[in-house]
Structure 1
Amino acid sequence: MPLTLADTGIEQTIQRIGGSSEVRQHLSDMGFVPGGSVTVISTSAGNLIVKVKEARVAISKEMAAKIIV
């Protein structure tokens, strides 16, 4: 399921990253890699604040939809 549908506060494992090669590289640079863990901290108007690699990152709902957990 896309990260946008993940429950808040539950650690998820990233299965794959979709989108163009530029988008995949950008997400990889931020720490979103297959096999890695991500936790949704909060959502606001569809945008998410997530914890990835011990850092909190804000991402748009469009980017979050490309992260499959």
Structure 2
Amino acid sequence: MMPLSMAKEGEPNVIKKVGGKEETRQFLENLGFVTGGMVTVISQMGGNLIVNVKESRVAIGKDMANKIMI
């Protein structure tokens, strides 16, 4: 397992765990980051990520990406 922030661009990954406080987990789940779901990093700039999750593009910061384990 590794954090989403370390994923290679363009490579589909399965979300294994979403960490953080309850409100953080709920926020990420509402965006589509659920255990067992697929996520693909589209681009990475300055630690911030643009990812494809549930057929939509989402921009997240490095701190949030570190809470999502793949």
TM-score, structure 1 normalization: 0.99
RMSD: 0.2
- Name the SS for the 1:24 alignment partner: helix
Q: How many residues align?
A: 69
**In 2: Cα distance, 1:45 partner to 1:51 partner:** 18
- Match of residue 26 from structure 1: 27
Where structure 1 has 5 or more consecutive residues not aligned to the other structure, the ranges are none
Partner of 2:53: 52
Q: How far is the alpha carbon of 1:38 from its aligned partner?
A: 0.1
Q: Segments of 4+ in structure 1 off by > 6 A?
A: none
Q: Could you give the per-residue CA deviations for residues 8-41 of structure 1, whole angstroms, max 9, x where no partner exists?
A: 0000000000000000000000000000000000
2:25 match: secondary structure: helix
**Secondary structure of residue in 1 paired with 2:34:** coil
What residue identity is the alignment partner of 1:20?
K
SS in 1 for 2:29: helix
Question: Counterpart in 2 of 1:2?
Answer: 3
| Identity across the alignment (%) | 57
